[in-house]
Amino acid sequence: MGLDISVTQGADEAIIQLSGELDAAAAPKLKEAVEKVAEAKPKRLVFVVGELHFMASAGLRVLIFAKQKMGSGVSLYVIGSQGPVLNTLTMSGFHRSVILQDTYKPLE
């Protein structure tokens, strides 16, 4: 199926919308998108994953990389996670490091 990535960047936030499957082959593409977004130093990084049907451990590693790359001053949101993607986030414990929401509402 592959992975589709759409990036929208504003002054304070970057939104990365994902659809398809985030597997080991697609993870480098997402990492590259995160690196580009990080250059603008947003206050919030938002991953919209409602259309993401699968996330392998390589995809989880990219989310962890994003959290580390952005630093502690940046809020990381994961929006719309469900099914296998939500299971991956919760079983790994990463859900404690991000803000999980059904729909995006900035907390700041």
Domain-wise residue ranges, the chain: 3-101
Q: What is the mean pLDDT of residues 45-70?
A: 95
Closest-CA residue to 35 (of 84, 82, 70): 70
E strands, 1-108, in order: 3-9, 13-22, 44-55, 75-79, 99-101
Provide the whole-model pTM.
0.93
Inform me whether the pLDDT recorded for 107 exceeds 90: no
Q: Look at residue 108 in the predicted model and tell me its pLDDT.
A: 60
* Rounded-to-integer distance, Cα 29 and Cα 108, Å: 29
- The more confidently predicted of residues 36 and 105 is 36
* Rounded-to-integer distance, Cα 105 and Cα 4, Å: 23
The bridge status of strand 13-22 relative to strand 75-79 is unpaired
Q: What topology is assigned to 3-101 in CATH?
A: Transcription Regulator spoIIAA (3.30.750)
